[in-house]
Structure 1
Amino acid sequence: MPAPRSRWLTAARTPVGACAGLLLLAVVVLAVLAPVLWGDRASVVDTSALQQGPSGAHVLGTDSLGRDILFRVLVATRLSLLLAVAATLLGVALGLVLGTVPAVLPRRAGQLVVSVVNIAVAFPGLLLALFFAVIFGVGATGAVLAIGLAMAPAFARLTHTLSASVAGQDFVAAARTVGVGRTRLLTRHILPNIAEPLAVNATIGAGSSLLAFAGLSFLGLGVQAPDYDWGRLLGEGLGRINLTPAPALAPCAAVVVAGLAFNLFGEAAAAALGVRTLSPRSAGPRPLTPPARAAAAQQPPGDGQPVLAVEDLRVSFPAPEGWTTPVRGVSFAVHPGEAVGVVGESGSGKSLTAMAVSRLVESPAHVTARRLDFTGTPLLGTGERELRTLLGTSLAMVFQDPMSSLNPVMSVGRQLAEVAVHHQHLSGRAARTRAVDRLRAVHVPAPERRARQYPHEFSGGMRQRAMIGMGLMGDPRLIVADEPTTALDVTVQRQVLRLLDEVRAVRATAVLLISHDITVVARTCDRVLVMYAGRIVEDLPAESLFTAARHPYTRALLAAVPDLGTDRDRPLAVIPGRPPEPDRIPEGCAFAPRCARADDHCRRVDPDPVTCATGHRIACWHPVADGTGPVAETRTGDTV
């Protein structure tokens, strides 16, 4: 991510950024210098030149006391801008507090704040400003308070809406998993990701404040004599508009130009700010992109090369005392046509690993790896534009809840077609035809009719099929399925898994299946990765999972699955204790506190993965010697 200064320079080189910078700079310089240069001349009373029209001596004419209108308009720039900026800052500050405090307060108190804001938003802003102006009294101070309070509800609504949308993202859930508190979650994970629309809205609000102040001063509720701003000058010149329009048009033009400067600056600021990230000085681990691999990535993958290659993958989040790393040194590969399953308890890092390899983990998180290649392209060293095309056509993501992944206000067919329009540059009709064909390929009945329907008209299983169909709109080399059957009944689960297996067989598409159900993974996948506390503790062929698993954690997971031979008179087998929090990983083996085979060495030193058989790797100091002991012991009541 470029440094803040370079991002500002990049934005300043664009036409909008250059115009915004020059125009706003001119307005600010005028506000600073005009009172110094022309303050005295603007206040000189000339009884011999009362209410004159434009002339060589007075370009815009004079007012009722013979004072030069041009100089007064220029000098009024400082007070007009200061008051508008002060009101904007007040409105933005109150809006941020009101918009974010529901995320920090208890639920009922937060709902009360939201209700009050919604009621305030229902009233027109100008009406609120007039109401508050009457309460606070006539004058500049009352006008600042009135306009600031009138702006706050709309800004609070925007902040709350954006915060709520970001709070539902997966990377925010990951931050909660690592134990980030509410306030820190808000200030470090949510607000930085909504900085762009808030910055645009704030600068536009400054332009609106200029207009509001002009209106209040025009009505006599704002700036009072002997001070003057553009609104007062407009009120004084309006009475003579039939005789000479210059005294009224000049302050109007000033308001328009200043408002345009703020609006253009808002667009430039949005481009420059983007989503704020941590500075390089405070950053934790940085992506590693070896130059040799980046050059080799330009060549197409050869025979035997994995579709996805991951080496020492780490995902870190900022924490109060440094960095928390819930994914710690994950390494694996997925080859064409291969199905790899990832199992483990909640919080083991399965979904975060899938999000990281899919480039869905956003700032302020940091994703690093010695190698993270997809179809030969390094994901951590390639530009966003290239990755957007590559991932949009060659990688499909199937989430646990397809309802949250589908736009509720767009038809399903239109959403599928959008993929082909953007990534394959098909026409609208051709894209819709392909969308219907993809729905038919994933066994959605009556695909022509269903393509015109909306997500809420689909059942859960059909929505999941539609998500798979969306992935098939391109030519996916890899399907990442994150708990795709969790919310479905057993029959529909079987249909979805058969569909994934069919796609894999027909198109040689690789599948990375994330699941809590170890038996589903054993039946569906070729290889199983067992994760615990952010690490892969065992990697083995699925066919030998029940007979050759050697890690005590894997054996305990298998023992906890009931079958027809389970004694119903005895309690179900469980794994004692709980997985460690990502920010409280113990020294040594993370599973040691729950493992009956652990000793002092296990609690001091974390084991590295070693190969114990062909295609079988394990990270354990005391692995099970055969495939019978731990399961049998757990079945009879002992714990692992």
Structure 2
Amino acid sequence: MSILRTPLGLAATVLTFGVLVLAVVAPILWTDKANAIDTSNILAGPSADHWAGTDNLGRDIFYRTLVATRLSVELALAATAIAVVVGLVLGTASYLLGRRSGRLVSAGINIAVAFPGILLALFFAVIFGVGATGAVLAIGLAGAPSFGRLTQTLVASVGSRDYVSAARVAGVGRFRILGRHVLPNVSEPLVVNATIGAGGALLAFAGLSFLGLGVQQPKYDWGRLLFDGVSSIYVNPAAALAPGIAVLIAGLAFNLFGECIAKGLGVGVVGGVPELPPMAATLDDEQEPVEETHHEGTELVLDVRDLEVTFPGPNGPIRPVRGVSFAVRRGEAVGVVGESGSGKSLTALAISRLVGDPGRVDASRLELLGTDLRTADTKAQRQFLGTSMAMVFQDPMTSFNPTRRMGGQLAEVARHHQGMDRKQAMARAIDRLSAVRITEAERRAHLYPHEFSGGMRQRAMIGMGLMGSPALIVADEPTTALDVTVQQQVLDLLAAIREADDVALVLISHDVTVVGEVCDRVLVMYAGKIVEDLPAADLATTAQHPYTRALVAAVPDMDTDLAEPLAVIPGRPVDPADVPLGCAYAARCPLATTRCTTEEPPLESDAAGRRVACWHAGEPIDIEIQTLQEVEA
């Protein structure tokens, strides 16, 4: 209703409503007067009896213009409906068909959009023939490419959101994702453009009828009346002016109404971090206690060997992840650290099978609980991933579908994979929200994501992963954009779930200190490779790789001089498209030698099981840290 609060919005709404009402009532009230023939009053000018004069049969042009409103609007709406339906099919084809077929559809849309709409309409009008039906098809198909391009852009944007990726991890199929998670979130701009498109279709239809390609006698719309009126424009200009004004007002009404809707759309945000109940009261009471020595078990949950992620580039393939190998055991917490662009998140996405086209994932081994994840995407594999792995994404605001209630989104997992009915699935969702320390879970299950605080959304995302019985939780920067208090709450929750359910955890973070405190083992990544694998307890004291020691040295602590600028690692991270020969860190390393710049060091294990890729591992150095001002200079 916000569009009614502005003069323009109110005027556009009144105009549009008036046109629609006129289309309904005009044929009922004035058809007889519009069709009444008076041969004694042919081509008469405007008068008190005939406000816009008469035509060549003495019929009242004003009443004919009013009656023509219904057919004009009906045909315009029919053409708009065709444009919307065909545009939706074209726009969603790339998402549904996959990489190759999607490219062909995209190429066809791009070619069609390059032609002016009126040329396409004339082309289709010739194909479908003269008449109202042919004109509707012509205008509808001519408008479909532009609507398809808009749909394609919106679907691609929403399709990359975290809540869509979460649905894919949960094993939801493409058609269901499109109908439940993508299209509802692009409906507003599509409706707005459809409304504006109706005005354009009305004008286009009037144009075709004026050219003699649209409505044919004895039927008439505004374009046909305009065609007839032009023939007598020198005798009675009002004969052409009346239908012309009607076309102008109706087209302006639809266009302004659509634009006002676009300006009036908005979403409010409420927040607030509730007080958390004690952990003992929120853990699943049905779970039996697990001994704290769980991380010393030998059951292998995740086994990754020689993982590579490749994307096409202008100068050849780009490999942001280059031969990553590691394993995670039952109950073990493994942290992955490194600068932005080091390949941490892509590694997590590759494990979760979330690297979409045109990316390619290769590995000599990629197994979760002994199941090979390199096989083709099937319903069984999606169901397995949806129940055995939980993915906690980086941005809590985009982790959920904003158009659906929180409880329904969690319940979808139970209904899809566990065969629960609606009532059982909702009860399970409420139980999981309680388990992740969300107070008043039953009430909050009926709220929308924007009504949750950032910390609550992140905990609810963890709760979604716990709808099944996951053996592995992959948390990609789960504390980003949260204040330090909420960060600690989320990390405590992950630790408690790990302790209670013996779940393996892969925690990706920029914060070396957090990873050192939460995890058992730390993987340090640089330029798409693991350069060191060491126990978390040794991270700050006995790290071997110069890059690891530089990361630790760059983190401020309680002894940091507040009067001095913060320190950073000298140099810039390596561009994945231009990885140098030898050790990728050599250009920034104080220990680098000629061998480092020509020969890449292998990732080798020592007697204690630690791994490091460096020709000068463990050699004493003074970590050279620049200040931020020096780097910017």
- Kept in 2, the 8 Å contact 1:338–1:509? The answer is yes
Alpha-carbon distance between aligned partners in 1 of 2:489 and 2:532, rounded to the nearest angstrom? 29
Residue equivalent to 1:403: 397
Give the unaligned 5+ runs of structure 2.
1-78, 95-116, 166-181, 195-200, 220-296
What's the CA shift string for 1:548-574, capped at 9, x where partnerless? 101000000001011122233433321
Give the Å deviation of 1:369.
0.3
Paired amino acid for 2:525: M
Residue 22 of structure 1 is matched in structure 2 by: none
2:163 and 2:314 map into 1 onto residues whose CA distance is 21
Query: What is the alpha-carbon distance in structure 1 between the residues aligned to residue 543 and residue 469 of structure 2?
Result: 35
State the match for 1:240 in structure 2: none
Q: Structure 1: how far apart are the matches of 2:135 and 2:387?
A: 57
Instruction: Give the RMSD, CA atoms, in angstroms.
Output: 4.3
Q: Is the 8 A contact 1:559 1:634 kept in 2?
A: no
Aligned-residue offset at 1:638 = 12
Offset at 1:222? 7.3
**Closer, same or farther in 2 for the Cα pair 1:602/1:466, shift >3 Å?**
same
Aligned to 1:625: 618
1:559 is matched with: 553
Does the CA contact (< 8 Å) of 1:327 and 1:534 recur in 2?
yes
> Does the CA contact (< 8 Å) of 1:315 and 1:365 recur in 2?
yes
Q: Is the aligned partner of 1:454 residue 2:448?
A: yes
1:165 is matched with: 158
Return the match for 1:493 from 487, 497, 502. 487
Task: Give the partner amino acid of 1:363.
Answer: D
1:312·1:371 contact (CA, 8 Å) conserved in 2?
yes
Provide, for residues 57-82 of structure 1, a one-character-per-residue CA deviation record: whole Å limited to 9, x for no partner: xxxxxxxxxxxxxxxxxxxxxxxxxx
Secondary structure of the corresponding residue to residue 372 of structure 1: strand
> 1:592 pairs with 586, 598, 609, which one?
586
Contact 1:171–1:361 (Cα < 8 Å) also in 2:
no
1:504 counterpart = 2:488:
no
Q: 1:448 to 1:234 in 2, by over 3 A?
A: same
Q: Deviations over 1:240-286 (max 9, x none)?
A: xxxxxxxxxxxxxxxxxxxxxxxxxxxxxxxxxxxxxxxxxxxxxxx
Q: Distance in 1 between matches of 2:584 and 2:610?
A: 20
2:41 alignment partner in structure 1: none
After TM superposition, the score normalised by the length of structure 2 is 0.58
Q: What is the CA–CA distance in structure 1 between the aligned matches of 2:470 and 2:461, rounded to whole Å?
A: 13
Q: CA deviation at 1:458?
A: 0.8
Structural mapping, 1:102-121, within 5 Å: none
Equivalenced residue count is 408
Residue 465 of structure 1: how far off its partner (Å): 0.6
Quote the offset at 1:363 in angstroms: 1.8
| Equivalent residue in structure 1 for 2:562, among 551, 562, 568 | 568
Aligned-partner Cα distance in 2 for 1:319–1:439: 43
Structure 1 residues 186-585: aligned runs within 5 Å: 304-381=298-375, 383-585=377-579
How far apart are 1:314 and its partner, in Å? Answer: 0.1
Name the structure 1 match of 2:283.
none
CA deviation vs aligned residue, 1:95-141 (integer Å, no higher than 9, x gap): 99xx9xxxxxxxxxxxxxxxxxxxxxxxxx99x979x99xxxx9999
> How big is the shift at 1:367?
0.2
Distance 1:143 1:498 in 2: 62
Please state how far the C-alpha of 1:410 moved relative to its aligned partner: 1.3
CA deviations over 1:536-558 (Å, ceiling 9, x no partner):
00000001111110100000000
Counterpart contact for 1:328–1:534, Cα < 8 Å: yes
State how far apart, in whole Å, the 2-side matches of 1:160 and 1:373 are: 35
Matched AA of 1:386:
A
Percent of residue pairs identical: 52
- Match of 1:616, as an amino acid? R
Name the CA distance, whole Å, in 1 between partners of 2:339 and 2:444.
Answer: 37
Contact 1:399/1:481 (8 A) holds in 2: yes
Distance 2:216 2:389 in 1: 61
Task: Output the CA distance in 2 between the equivalents of 1:336 and 1:559.
Answer: 32
Amino acid of the structure 2 residue aligned with 1:623:
H
**Using a 3 Å threshold, how does the CA distance of structure 1 residues 336 and 638 change in structure 2: closer, same or farther?**
farther
Give the CA deviation at 1:600: 1.1
8 Å CA contact 1:556, 1:634 repeated in 2: no
Q: What's the CA shift for 1:454?
A: 1.2
Between the aligned partners of 1:501 and 1:521, the Cα distance in structure 2 is 12
Amino acid at match of 1:160: T
Cα distance in 2 between the residues matched to 1:466 and 1:432: 14
Q: Go from structure 1 to structure 2 and tell me whether the alpha carbon gap of 1:171 and 1:555 turns closer, same or farther (over 3 Å shift).
A: farther
Deviations 1:386-405 (A, max 9, x none): 21111100100001112212
CA distance in 1, matches of 2:542, 2:464: 38
Q: Name the aligned partner's letter for residue 382 of structure 2.
A: R
Q: Which amino acid aligns with 1:326?
A: P
Say if 1:534 and 1:221 are closer, same or farther in 2 by CA, change over 3 A: same
- Partners of 2:568 and 2:625 within 8 A in 1: no
Distance 1:171 1:310, change over 3 A: farther
CA contact (8 A) 1:314 1:330 kept: yes
**Residues 19-98 of structure 1 aligned to structure 2 (within 5 Å):** none
Distance 1:629 1:554 in 2: 12
Partner SS state of residue 393, structure 1: helix
Q: Quick check: 1:411–1:455 contact (8 Å CA) kept in 2?
A: yes
